[in-house]
Amino acid sequence: MSNWIRQFLLSGLLGLLRPKHNHRYSLQTKLKAVEAYRSGKYSSPEILNQYNIRNASQLSQWIIQYNMGKLDVAYATRKRVRKMGRKVSFDEKKEIVQWTLDHQRNYQAAAEKYNVSYQRVYSWVHKYSNSQDWQALRDNRGRNKGKEASSEVERLRQRVRELEREKREREVEINFAKKLIEIHNRGVQRPDDIKRFRK
């Protein structure tokens, strides 16, 4: 909701419309936004406003890509050596996730403290947060060959849930925009002026 308010204040009702195409940001803008976030001098809302970024999740994605070394590929002049991930036990995953949650989801600090990648910490926290079950952190690779049919059904169910969520979000956006128009129309003095707000 706060994101919609910010977009409305920046661009009016046009800011609430869902764009037909994704907005493209230059690599320079992405790097500046990430560096501003990493400096700790600016809050996320300030960065979103300064660089005209529509959504906080976009900034989060750039931070993840930056930490994985994917944002600076266009400027790279040397080959990056891929760091092999070390084996992490189930109990250690639990410890890492708990520490990260206790420290306001500071993925970077957890990655440095436990000598694992940012992406792995993010993935483990995300898995646990979604299920609220520590078993989600278990490594089940190679054990699901007999579950293709059930996994396909689960994938379809997940897709249905996503579509329902998107539908609810659209309904909230529409109702929010209608309410803003209604509030705006209250200040109109002449009835014939109302027409220009009802589009």
Query: Tell me: the pLDDT tens digits for 93-146?
Result: 999 999 999 998 999 999 888 988 898 999 999 999 888 888 888 876 545 555
pLDDT value for 106: 92
The torsion of the CA quartet 188, 190, 196, 199, rounded to 10 degrees, works out to 70
Whether residue 80 is predicted with pLDDT greater than 50 in this model: the reply is no
Q: Are residues 74 and 111 in the same domain?
A: no
Q: Are residues 4 and 67 in the same domain?
A: yes
pLDDT value for 34: 86
Q: Are residues 108 and 135 in the same domain?
A: yes
Would 68 be classed as within a structural domain? yes
Would 155 be classed as within a structural domain? no
Q: What are residue 103's phi and psi, to 5 degrees?
A: -115, 45
Q: Which residues 6+ apart lie within 8 Å of 19 measured at CB?
A: none
Q: Are residues 52 and 108 in the same domain?
A: no
Of the candidates 20, 39, 29, 103, the residue with the CA atom closest to the CA atom of residue 59: 29
pLDDT value for 97: 93
**Which range, of 11-15, 31-35, 60-64, 76-80, averages the lowest pLDDT?**
76-80
Q: Are residues 105 and 68 in the same domain?
A: no
Would 78 be classed as within a structural domain? yes
Task: Read off the pLDDT band of 189 (50, 70, 90).
Answer: low
Q: What are residue 41's phi and psi, to 5 degrees?
A: -85, -20
Overall domain count for the chain: 3
Task: Read off the pLDDT band of 76 (50, 70, 90).
Answer: very low
Q: Are residues 76 and 25 in the same domain?
A: yes
pLDDT value for 74: 42
Of the three residues 43, 64, 82, the one that is the final residue of a domain is: 82
pLDDT digits (tens, 9 = 90+) for 5-51: 655 565 555 555 555 556 677 888 888 888 888 888 878 778 877 78
Q: Are residues 116 and 75 in the same domain?
A: no
Of the three residues 82, 97, 124, the one that is the final residue of a domain is: 82
Distance CA 7, CA 49 (A): 9
Would 150 be classed as within a structural domain? no
Of the candidates 7, 111, 131, 117, the residue with the CA atom closest to the CA atom of residue 58: 7
pTM (global) more than 0.85 = no
Domain that residue 170 falls in: 164-199
What is the torsional sign of CA 139, 61, 42, 44?
negative
Where do runs of H (alpha helix) occur along 26-147?
27-39, 44-50, 56-67, 90-102, 107-114, 118-131
Whether residue 172 is predicted with pLDDT greater than 60 in this model: the reply is yes
Helix axes 107-114 and 56-67, enclosed angle (nearest 10): 20
Whether residue 175 is predicted with pLDDT greater than 80 in this model: the reply is yes
CA distance readout (Å), 130 to 15, 126, 133: 30, 6, 8
Task: Read off the pLDDT band of 154 (50, 70, 90).
Answer: confident
Q: Are residues 65 and 107 in the same domain?
A: no
Of the three residues 63, 82, 101, the one that is the final residue of a domain is: 82
DSSP letters along 151-194, please?
HHHHHHHHHHHHHHHHHHHHHHHHHHHHHHHHHHHHT--SGGGG
Would 153 be classed as within a structural domain? no
Say if residue 26 is exposed, middle or buried (CB neighbours under 10 Å; 0-12, 13-18, 19+). Answer: exposed
pLDDT value for 167: 93
**Which range, of 44-53, 143-152, 170-179, averages the lowest pLDDT?**
143-152
